[in-house]
Amino acid sequence: MRIIKRNGSEEPFDIEKISNAVRKANNATEHGKITDEQIKDISGYVEYKCSKLDRAVSVEEIQDMVEEQIMAKGAFQLARNYVRYRYNRSLIRSSNTTDNKILSLIECNNEEAKQENSNKNPTVNSVQRDYMAGEVSKDLTRRILLPQDIVEAHEKGIIHFHDADYFAQHMHNCDLVNLEDMLQNGTVISETLIEKPHSFSTACNIATQIIAQVASNQYGGQSISLTHLAPFVQISREKIKREFMAEIEMMGTDIPQETIDNIVEERLKKEITKGVQTIQYQVVTLLTTNGQAPFVTVFMYLNEAKDEREKKDLAMIIEETLRQRCTGVKNEAGVWITPAFPKLIYVLEEDNIHEGDPYYYLTELAAKCTAKRMVPDYISEKVMLRNKIDKNGDGHCYTCMGCRSFLTPYVDENGKPKYYGRFNQGVVTVNLVDIGLSANKNLADFWKIFDERMELCHRALRCRHERLKGTLSDAAPILWQYGAISRLKKGETIDKLLYGGYSTLSLGYAGLWECVYSLIEKKLTDEEGKQLGLEIMKKLNEYCAKWKAEENIDYSIYGTPLESTTYKFAKCLQKRFGIIKGITDRNYITNSYHVHVTEKISAFDKLKLESEFQTLSPGGAISYVEVPDMQQNIPAVMQVIKFIYDNIMYAELNTKSDFCQVCGYNGEIQIVKDDNGKLIWKCPNCGNTDQNKMNVARRTCGYIGTQFWNQGRTQEIKERVLHLSNSVLADKQTVSSEVV
């Protein structure tokens, strides 16, 4: 059993430290002292409670338990002395709130930092530098930049004020990069003019530089579209043909036109391979200023092409992207593994979803890639056109920013839809479970508390908005001046981009499953539970619509991708309400509207149910189904993909893709408990438990993580049930959708 110290480091649980602290307070008490036996009882009970939590316990939690037990003994004078001692110690600590945490980061013994982001390696200097700056930013945010009640609500887990480690700077969340503008009209990178590229491979190289620059000037995800690279295929085709014709002229030979065309296309394919390889390897190997590979999503949408020729060229790029991703990248041992980025999104549309469709082969290739490497994820054009309706009544299909953050439909001053070049200002998430438990099964009280929390979230979101107001375009030229988002003048503020729907503010929500269960003891899979869940979602949307109407700012409901926050919220709930079966008895709470990971439900029932909630989460949502190794069962993957097309806007399949560097095992690395009850990763073949000697890739919350997770998220990953069996009938045509 271990404890988490205030600086984030872990150490073994020591019952004597508890006894000594109580004994010191007891010795300073004149009246109402307790006996040594009672001190022993208090320490023993605290040890018992900590062991039942099945996780590392913070020092603050232990002190709260001690205080409660002293009060239970009726030793009120002693309790006051103990509280006074804690208060004096906190005053001493508050004189400098960052030193210990920064030192623990540098020495790599800060367990919270190690597990905060599953795509950051905390031993790397650039990551440590980012975390150190983040600690300073969080300290400024807590003490100066945010109202105290918002800070307290954040620390209690009532809300989560996202990315406080970047709040001191005038930075925003995520972007839909206008790569088309930057490539067609030129851009500036590090004060160097980058003109329109003259080949596909050069366009790909410039795209990776843009990705890196954008990632270093915001803290969220970004997305680019392969469609914006497609016009450069024709430019390369014409260039290759000119060069080849010059070669023929020099040789003085006569070659049939058909042969010329075939050779040009073969050379063109080699250039496409080279260009796509540039994007894949540059994105994987680049380290931005925050110490991680750019969190970038690559969008693959055939119907985005301007004409049939461009569509065919786009199809070639998509095919090569899928082939290379299916192959993977080599680790330091030279073994092909699954990379975390770029995330791929493939749009299912009328000419690629049915057998016999001209681009059906791409969907089959996507299915094979998903089975092996967990991407691409899938957007249904048919469903999205129904869900994303602009003020003119037209439906649109477009990519999210990063893993799930969707912009609201927008029409510019010329009446044209616009998505590329827009962004999200930031996120604040409400802990729905806390509202449910605070209401104590009284729905009237629930809605009263709900209203209060919405007002709290609204003020917190306004803090994000006000922090960005007045930001000069000079703060991030690549974003504001040179086309990634806009073409503002030097010295101009970004204020006009914060209003009118150009950008969004996200009201996140977490734990809908547990919230509903806490109120009526029904699951979202029960009809009564589903209806209450939908009612809560509608209320969230009503608040966003109200704020938007009053302020001309686009607020939008966002299904928060809890990573480290799932553990934080769970610990806060346990502290406030204790262990409640089915609600707080795990070290994580459920992401957004998702069905609980332990619920036995078929893949198709899960997607069908969650599609109703996804529609009510317009600012961000993604659903998934957990599947076994499907590499030998592509027909089953295709069946799920076709179901996604007909039923849900955005979904993914989660499989496993691991490798043990000690014994060469290529399969699923297991999660087990060590002697201290801590969840660790273990190779089932050789027993290796050294995380530095294994490659593990798991879907974290919309994107793939490869740097491991905190104990809450690890427990959630361990407890995921499969939603699809792998049994196929002898003719290989029919798959089972039964739950495993």
DSSP 739: -
Catalytic position from the list 220, 291, 702, 712: 702
Catalytic position from the list 43, 223, 405, 617: 405
3-state secondary structure of 123: coil
Task: Identify whether the C-beta of residue 367 lies closer than 8 Å to the C-beta of residue 641.
Answer: yes
Sheet holding 10-12, edge to edge: 10-12, 2-4, 57-58
The terminus-to-terminus CA distance of the chain in angstroms comes to: 33
Instruction: Give the tokens for residue 93.
Output: 């600590």
CA-CA distances (angstroms) from residue 295 to 128, 291, 340, 507?
18, 11, 9, 21
DSSP 721: P
Pairing status of strand 174-176 against strand 222-225 = parallel
CA-CA distances (angstroms) from residue 709 to 120, 307, 714?
10, 45, 6
Is position 174 annotated as part of the catalytic site? yes
**Is residue 54 left, alpha or beta, with left meaning phi > 0 and alpha meaning psi from -120 to 50?**
left
Is position 563 annotated as part of the catalytic site? yes
Task: Identify whether the C-beta of residue 425 lies closer than 8 Å to the C-beta of residue 498.
Answer: yes
* Exposure string for 65-88, b = 16+ CB within 10 A, e = fewer: bbbebbeebebebbbebbeeebee
The 3-class secondary structure across 451-478, one letter per residue, is HHHHHHHHHHHHHHHHHHCCCEHHHCHH
Is position 685 annotated as part of the catalytic site? no
Please name the residue that has the structure tokens 């430019």.
235
Is position 401 annotated as part of the catalytic site? yes
Q: How many CB atoms lie within 10 A of CB 457?
A: 25
Catalytic position from the list 1, 132, 369, 403: 403
Catalytic position from the list 65, 204, 401, 515: 401
Distance between CA 530 and CA 523 in Å, rounded? 7
Is position 424 annotated as part of the catalytic site? yes
Across the strands, what pairs with 428? 161, 507
Cα Dmax for the chain:
111
3-state secondary structure of 655: coil
Across the strands, what pairs with 225? 299
Catalytic position from the list 180, 349, 563, 716: 563
Chain-centroid distance of CA 581 in Å reads 28
Catalytic position from the list 26, 118, 137, 424: 424
Is position 400 annotated as part of the catalytic site? no
Catalytic position from the list 1, 132, 171, 174: 174
Chain-centroid distance of CA 223 in Å reads 13
Is position 405 annotated as part of the catalytic site? yes
Catalytic position from the list 131, 558, 624, 650: 558
Q: How many CB atoms lie within 10 A of CB 696?
A: 23
Instruction: Give the tokens for residue 254.
Output: 């006569």
Residues tagged active-site:
173-174, 401, 403, 405, 424, 558, 563, 702
